[in-house]
Amino acid sequence: MEAIKVKLIAATDAAPLELASHAALKCYQAEDPQWGKTIDVENRLFGVGHHTTLQHFFFTFSIEGIAVGDITFGLHLTHPFYNSDQRSGRYCAQMFLAPDFSAIEKYIHQFWPEVKGKDLKSVVGYVKRSVAVYHKNIAVAAEISRGFLQKERPYVSDKYLEATAPKIAQEQMRMFIPIIFPTGFDYTVNLTVLAAMHRTAWTPAMRSVVSEMVKAVTRKFPELKFMFSSETAATEKNDWAAVLPKKTALKMRKKPAHKLLEISGEKKFVFPRSEMMHPVDLMHFDPLLMDNSVGNMKTAIEISVATMGQDQRHRTIRRSVPNFTGAFYLPPILSKMKLEKEARELMEEWLRVSRKMPKTLAMLMAPYGAMVAYEKSGSFNAILHEQGKRLCWCAQEEIYHAGLELRRALEKRNKRSKLLPIFEPPCYRTGKCAEGGRYCGRDLKKRKSGDYFPNRKV
């Protein structure tokens, strides 16, 4: 039985070669093509790179049992041509409260069979000890979370408080959990994306998932086999992993870092009306804002792997290769509990058990709290969308602070910058919560008289 289950749950309701042929003939002839008429797609379209014709066809997969790290450092890492909805590590408590260690051992055995005996025992022991730290401290963390919520969010309802305090405790305590823990997600790609992934998959689990996707597609549409030959499939030669830190680099961080590197096109920036931003993002669609897609901001960021996964949700922003810095993110609840010693010991053990591991497995042994650094580059429209979500208090604490660091860097550069309104939640402009029933309970009146961008704890 496979460790990861991949199931094709939806595909475009048409024959893929008929759809591609229709799109191509639409380009090549003056009259509307007859539906059902096909051309030599392999040689006239695929082989010569006329791939827009193949991008009308989409597949949606349900994927279960894949490691969080094989999404963050795999299926979500580089290309932006997908849609994805992942089980939340912020909210799904069962992932960590009742872990299936045998499933993790099976995952390792399937994808890294050379890891066995004492080495396998040391890896599983490391995972179990990290979970023990989580279990030992989660109840106290929930109480601290409750106190922070009551102080920071004076208008929070009792119902919200009872539901949210344990979730935020989990959000911050999961920093001790390794990213090899299994999760699930729905994943939608088009034909040419699947063909590209088939050729580039860079971790063993990613290659397995893509192979299962290809098998599901070619079982349903055997006429597509020419796109997915064994000769073009990625192999272990494609393996890539983020560079691990040296033990001497280990340190604790209580804030993420976000550095402003360069800005271009600021003079042409146009700030959109509120109704162009929410509830439907019109910024990439309205001609009035086209210049915002040319203006650009480049930054450097250091955040936890947990928050890197959140950061990847904004696919219109480009990112460089991430590498581990040696830092561990100690969010406010963990800091209040004085868990620095446990965090350092965890990081040291991660590096110790990783010495004899394949690099792709060592990467997945990283705890959620291990920090990575990379550069980001995005248009003003892309960053407007990102920061409107991330400076909202419904976003997790660390990603809020990453946005806040960038806002402060911009203020330091120019307090009157036209770009400053990018770094505001919708409620700052309107005085109304854009989240409806998920209203965070903060004091909205402070938008006029107080500090609307404080150092949150939860």
Q: How confident is the model at residue 219 (pLDDT cuts 50, 70, 90)?
A: very high
Ranges 87-96, 377-386, 425-434, most confident: 377-386
CA distance 42 to 224: 9
**Residue 151 belongs to some domain of the structure:** no
Q: Is the pLDDT of residue 323 over 80?
A: yes
Is the pTM value of this prediction over 0.85? yes
Domain that holds residue 80: 5-88+182-238
Instruction: Supply angle C-alpha 3, 315, 204, rounded to 5.
Output: 25
Instruction: Give yes or no: residues 324 and 387 share one domain.
Output: yes
Taking the CB of residue 1, how many other CB atoms lie within 10 A of it? 6
Instruction: Give yes or no: residues 271 and 205 share one domain.
Output: no
417: left (phi over 0), alpha (psi -120 to 50) or beta: beta
CA distance 202 to 225: 22
Give 58-77 as a DSSP string: EEEEEEEEEEHHHIIIIITT
Q: How confident is the model at residue 206 (pLDDT cuts 50, 70, 90)?
A: very high
Task: Return the pLDDT at 121.
Answer: 96
Q: Which of 199, 220, 238 is the last residue of a domain?
A: 238
Task: Return the pLDDT at 389.
Answer: 86
**Contact call for residues 440 and 447 (beta carbons, < 8 A):** no
Cis peptide bond N-terminal to 245, omega within 30: no
How many helices, marked H, and strands, marked E, lie in the chain? 17, 10
Task: Return the pLDDT at 279.
Answer: 87
**Residue 301 belongs to some domain of the structure:** yes
CATH of the domain at 34: 3.30.1360.170
Q: Report the percent of the chain where pLDDT is more than 70.
A: 99
Instruction: Give yes or no: residues 316 and 223 share one domain.
Output: no
CATH of the domain at 391: 3.30.70.3180
CA distance 281 to 278: 6
**Residue 340 belongs to some domain of the structure:** no
CA distance 28 to 30: 7
Rounded to the nearest angstrom, the gap between the alpha carbon of residue 128 and the centroid of all alpha carbons in its chain is 25
Q: How confident is the model at residue 98 (pLDDT cuts 50, 70, 90)?
A: confident
Give 134-184 as a DSSP string: HHHHHHHHHHHHHHHHHHH-TT--HHHHHHHHHHHHHHHHGGGSBTTSEEE
CA nearest neighbour of 319 among 301, 303, 334, 306:
301
**Residue 157 belongs to some domain of the structure:** no
Q: Which helix (H) or strand (E) holds 223?
A: none
- Beta strands at 182-190 and 318-319: parallel, antiparallel or unpaired: unpaired
Look at the chain and count its residues. 458
Q: Is the pLDDT of residue 54 over 80?
A: yes
Give the tens place of pLDDT for each residue, 329-368. Answer: 999 999 999 999 999 999 999 999 999 899 999 999 999 9
CA nearest neighbour of 71 among 209, 167, 194:
209
Instruction: Give yes or no: residues 300 and 323 share one domain.
Output: yes
Q: Is the pLDDT of residue 191 over 80?
A: yes
Number of domains in the chain: 2
**Residue 266 belongs to some domain of the structure:** yes
- Going 90 to 93 to 96 to 97, the CA torsion angle's sign is positive
**Residue 312 belongs to some domain of the structure:** yes
Taking the CB of residue 337, how many other CB atoms lie within 10 A of it? 16
Tell me the two tokens of residue 278.
Answer: 């929410």
Identity (one letter) of the amino acid at 427?
Answer: C
Tell me the two tokens of residue 292.
Answer: 């915002």
Q: Which helix (H) or strand (E) holds 367?
A: none
Structure letter (DSSP) for residue 453: S
Mean pLDDT of 91-118: 90
Task: Return the pLDDT at 213.
Answer: 98
CA distance 187 to 209: 11
Instruction: Supply angle C-alpha 9, 11, 16, rounded to 5.
Output: 150
Task: Return the pLDDT at 450.
Answer: 83
Mean pLDDT of 431-454: 90
Instruction: Give yes or no: residues 210 and 297 share one domain.
Output: no
Instruction: Give yes or no: residues 214 and 309 share one domain.
Output: no
Task: Return the pLDDT at 126.
Answer: 97
CA distance 181 to 167: 18
CA distance 113 to 386: 40
CA distance 48 to 50: 6
Contact partners, residue 436, CB within 8 Å, separation at least 6: none
Instruction: Give yes or no: residues 12 and 83 share one domain.
Output: yes
Task: Return the pLDDT at 88.
Answer: 82
SS3 state at 238: helix
The contacts found for 37-42 with CB under 8 angstroms, 24 or more apart, are 41/17, 42/226
**Residue 171 belongs to some domain of the structure:** no
CA distance 141 to 161: 14
**Torsions phi, psi for 85 (to 5 deg):** -130, 110
Task: Return the pLDDT at 49.
Answer: 92
Q: Is the pLDDT of residue 1 over 60?
A: no
Q: Which stretch of 140-144, 321-325, 433-437 has the lowest confidence by average pLDDT? A: 433-437
Instruction: Give yes or no: residues 279 and 394 share one domain.
Output: yes
* Mean pLDDT across the chain: 95
SS3 state at 418: coil
Gyration radius from the chain CA atoms: 24
Mean pLDDT of 207-227: 98
Q: Which of 219, 238, 257 is the last residue of a domain?
A: 238
Instruction: Give yes or no: residues 258 and 223 share one domain.
Output: no
Give the tens place of pLDDT for each residue, 245-291. Answer: 998 899 999 999 999 999 999 999 999 998 898 889 999 999 999 99
Q: Report the percent of the chain where pLDDT is more than 90.
A: 91
Instruction: Give yes or no: residues 205 and 320 share one domain.
Output: no
**Contact call for residues 213 and 137 (beta carbons, < 8 A):** no
Q: Which of 213, 238, 263 is the last residue of a domain?
A: 238
Instruction: Give yes or no: residues 222 and 292 share one domain.
Output: no
Mean pLDDT of 378-400: 94
Intra-chain end-to-end CA distance of the chain, in Å: 41
**Contact call for residues 397 and 456 (beta carbons, < 8 A):** yes
**Residue 354 belongs to some domain of the structure:** no
Task: Return the pLDDT at 449.
Answer: 86
Instruction: Give yes or no: residues 258 and 295 share one domain.
Output: yes
Q: Is the pLDDT of residue 304 over 60?
A: yes
Task: Return the pLDDT at 4.
Answer: 95
